Structure 1
Amino acid sequence: AAGERQFAATGSAKRAFAGLAKSATGGYGLTVQSKAMQPRQPAFSATGLPIRRNRDGFTLVELMVVFAIIGLLVGLLLPALARSKGRAHEVHCRKNQRDLFLAWSMYADENEGRLPAVKGGSFAGADRWVSGWLDFTSSPDNTNALYLTDERFSQVGPYVSDAPAVYRCPSDRTTVNLADGAHPRVRSVSMNCWLNYTGTEPIGEDEYRVFRNINSIFSPSPSELWVLIDERPDSINDGMFITNLKNRGNLAKLVDFPAGWHNRGAGITYADGHSEIKRWEDERTTPELKPTQLLRLDVLSPGNRDVAWLQKHSSSRRSIPADGLQ
């Protein structure tokens, strides 16, 4: 009886073991596979990069790739944003000058065609288109908006909308230091000195036309004769921009210097009302800007094509005696 029980127990164990083998392998028989016999996973992929078994973070290589992509995108986007901002400033600059031109033409319309006067010097009065003398000092002229808007000091002031902001190019960030801190200067625009010049210093009017009346503008034509221009912050002072018409070619001079805010270009508005950004070609026209340091004016610039352009579009040679109608 004892032997039968031992045999039964042994048989039961074998059947149970066989059942386990069948359930694990899908058939009868014993399949034994130790841990040491399991196939090893490769440490590196076919591309040579390490296989990550823990997905909870990023590897250093992945982070470096992400940062490189971000840097590339920033490098591509920043110049585009800068160009877009520059274009916006150009549009704003031209709009400001068109508003000033409208005031200039309205003054002429209400004064029988007579143009606003252009006069040099620091004297403030109602006998000129604007008053004031700009520099880098703490002089009140640098920040006095009344010199641009009040009829006691500006002939066009009463006609200007959105004053005094229109007198300044948005790209001009020049400031002066006053007792209470830094303040922007009020003006960056000047007027062609050949438009009703009333100063006492000779500018060559014995040989070249000074246009007194809007109806006298014919050579250059209104679409060729410039009225307003952006002037460099280290060149601007009074409200007139002088172009020397007598000295030409190898004797050419830059008396006042135009601005180069817009990719070496300045806003310019013509007597027919249209405006543009004029790009300067000669590097001598746009020297390095040194903050708070005034530029030396009235300098020789032989063969400067920009001077030749300004001469062509500022006035023309007289064909009548100097004491005749201008």
Structure 2
Amino acid sequence: MSMQPANSPDRRCRRAAFTLLELLLVIGILGGLTALLFPALVRARQQTQAIACMNNSRQLALAWQMYADDHDGVLVPNLHGSETRRGRNPNNWVSGWMDWTSSSDNTNTTFLTDPYYARLAPYTMRSARLYKCPADQYRSRQNPGPRVRSISMNAALGAGNKTNFAGWVPPFFFALRLTDIQTPPPALAWLFVDEHPDSINDGCFFLNPWQSGSDASWRDLPASYHRGAAGFAFADGHAEIKKWVDPRTPQPVRMGDFPGLAVPHSEDYEWMANRTPRQ
């Protein structure tokens, strides 16, 4: 009977090889580690997106301030309505209309970076990324590319089309100059906001500060990209992430037009209303 030496190649291979049980054990350990680490990785990614969102908003707020400084304190125009579609009226802080159709407005960065269409473009280094929250990953089923903008400006800041607000009592207030922002002061007056994907269209976010309490109703709806929170920039140049407390504020994305939402006694609506310029 022949005996293989203890250090023969066959015996070394058998000792070095995994048994099926050992392989399954390793796979189980790796699976457990992945399950433990994955939530932390997701949270880290979300935190990175929130920081990038605030940086974008802060740079847009700085551009807004620089424009006013160069124009004797006059705020950049902030038009609303269909006249912003396809760059029909280029005298605006931004042009284009976001929706879920195949319209080229959804993917056309020219309306953000060309000074002819976007009055803030010279102050943003013509950077299109500033207008898009990095957490906004939604795309139209009818359009191959991502939408280019997720940020809107407070309707109360800058000259706009006032005809849509005729008859409001008290009248809707438009701050036309930096010095018009008194109540609340610039540090408390919100300027830019992440707008809900179904709500965003023109570059203007409308909220009536007098329509609160039992009459509170979202005409435009803020987004909830950051784990139930939205990015804001303020007229003094600072940015923050606001966590919503009213469960009615974070609404699902349905890829359709936002119909409006009555939210009587909403703390979130009150929070934005109290930070909307008024007389």
TM-score normalized by the length of structure 1 = 0.75
Q: What code does the residue aligned with 1:70 have?
A: L
Residue 301 in structure 1 maps to residue 263 in structure 2: yes
| Paired residues of 1:284 and 1:301 also in contact (CA < 8 A) | yes
Q: CA RMSD in A?
A: 1.9
The yes-or-no answer on 1:118 pairing with 2:92 is no
Task: Give secondary structure in 2 for the equivalent of 1:191.
Answer: strand
Helix, strand or coil: the match of 1:227? strand
**Pair 1:296–1:208, CA change in 2 (3 A):** closer
1:215-254: CA deviation from partner (whole Å, max 9, x where unpaired):
2222211111010001111110001001122221111101
Q: Is the contact made by 1:164 and 1:186 (CA closer than 8 Å) also made in structure 2? A: yes
Once the two structures are superposed, the pairs formed by residues 19-34 of structure 1 within 5 Å of their partners are: none
Once the two structures are TM-superposed, the CA of residue 165 in structure 1 deviates from its matched residue by 1.4
Report the CA distance between 1:157 and its aligned residue: 1.7
Q: Deviations over 1:29-74 (max 9, x none)?
A: xxxxxxxxxxxxxxxxxxxxxxxxx745444444443232212110
Q: In structure 2, what is the Cα distance between the partners aligned to 1:163 and 1:66?
A: 47
For 2:42, the equivalent position in structure 1 comes to 82
2:181 maps to what in 1? 217
Q: Is 1:174 the equivalent of 2:134?
A: no
Distance in 2 separating the partners of 1:223 and 1:260 = 22
Alpha-carbon contact 1:177-1:183 (below 8 Å) kept: no
Q: How many residues align?
A: 260
Equivalence for 1:277: 241
Aligned to 2:150: 188
> 2: CA distance between counterparts of 1:56 and 1:108?
73
Residue deviations 1:64-98 (CA, integer Å, cap 9, x gap) = 43232212110111111111111111111111111
Q: Are 1:201 and 2:161 an aligned pair?
A: no
Query: Any conservation in 2 of the 1:122–1:132 contact (CA below 8 Å)?
Result: no
Residues 147-170 of structure 1 deviation map (CA, whole Å, 9 limit, x = unaligned): 222222222122212511111111
Alignment partner of 2:217 out of 226, 249, 253: 253
Matched, 1:262 2:222: no
In structure 1, distance between residues paired with 2:271 and 2:139: 30
* Partner Cα separation in structure 1 for residue 115 and residue 126 of structure 2: 15
Q: Percent identity?
A: 38
C-alpha displacement at 1:306, in angstroms? 0.6
Contact 2:75 2:178 in 1 (8 A): yes
Describe the SS at the equivalent of 2:54.
helix
Three-state SS of the structure 2 residue aligned to 1:314 is: coil
The separation in 1 between residues aligned to 2:70 and 2:220, in whole angstroms, is 31
AA aligned opposite 1:90 = A
Structure 1 counterpart of 2:10 = none
Deviates more, 1:123-132 or 1:276-285: 123-132
Partner of 2:207: 243
Q: 1:87 & 1:167 partners in 2: Cα distance?
A: 19
| Partner SS for 1:283 | coil
Comparing 137-146 and 265-274, the one that deviates more: 137-146
Which of 115, 119, 136 pairs up with 1:151? 115
CA, structure 1 residues 208+187, in 2 after alignment: closer, same or farther (shift >3 Å)? same
Q: Which amino acid aligns with 2:183?
A: S
Name the counterpart of 1:69.
29
Q: For 1:182, what is the secondary structure of its paired residue?
A: coil
Unaligned runs of 5+ in 1: 1-53, 319-326
* Offset from partner CA, 1:99-136 (integer Å, 9 cap, x none): 21121111101111000122111223232211221111
Would the aligned equivalents of 1:132 and 1:142 in 2 still touch at CA under 8 Å?
Answer: yes
State the alpha-carbon separation in 2 of the partners of residues 63 and 143 from structure 1. 49
Amino acid paired to 2:257: L
Q: What amino acid is aligned across from residue 257 of structure 1 in structure 2?
A: L
User: Secondary structure of 2:233's partner?
Assistant: strand
Tell which structure's C-alpha radius of gyration is larger.
Answer: 1
Matches of 1:231 and 1:157, distance apart in 2: 20
Cα distance change, pair 144–57 in 1 and its aligned pair in 2 (3 A):
closer
Q: Give the aligned residue type for 2:90.
A: A
2:65 matches 1:105: yes
Given residue 56 of structure 2, which amino acid in structure 1 is its aligned partner? N
Q: Measure the CA separation in 2 of the matches of 1:244 and 1:233.
A: 20
